[in-house]
Amino acid sequence: RDDIARIVLAYATQRYRRSALFVIKKEMLVGWEGGGSEISRAAVRGIMVPLTNPSIFKTVFETKVLYCGGVPHTTVNDIFFNALGDPRPERVVVVPFVLKDKVACVLYADGGDIDDENPASIGELYQLGRAVSSAFENLILRAKRS
Res 118: pLDDT = 61
- The two counts, helices (H) then strands (E), for the chain are 5, 6
Mean pLDDT per 10-residue run, the chain (146 residues)?
A: 81 88 94 84 87 96 93 93 84 90 91 68 75 75 76
Question: Which of 124, 125, 123 shows the shortest CA–CA distance to 108?
Answer: 125
Res 59: pLDDT = 96
Res 99: pLDDT = 85
Question: Which residues sit opposite 33 in a β-bridge?
Answer: 21
Res 22: pLDDT = 95
Cβ–Cβ under 8 Å, residues 132 and 33: no
Q: What is the largest CA-CA distance in the chain?
A: 47
C-alpha separations of 120 from 17, 114, 125, 127 in Å: 16, 8, 9, 12
Q: Are strands 28-36 and 67-69 parallel, antiparallel or unpaired?
A: unpaired
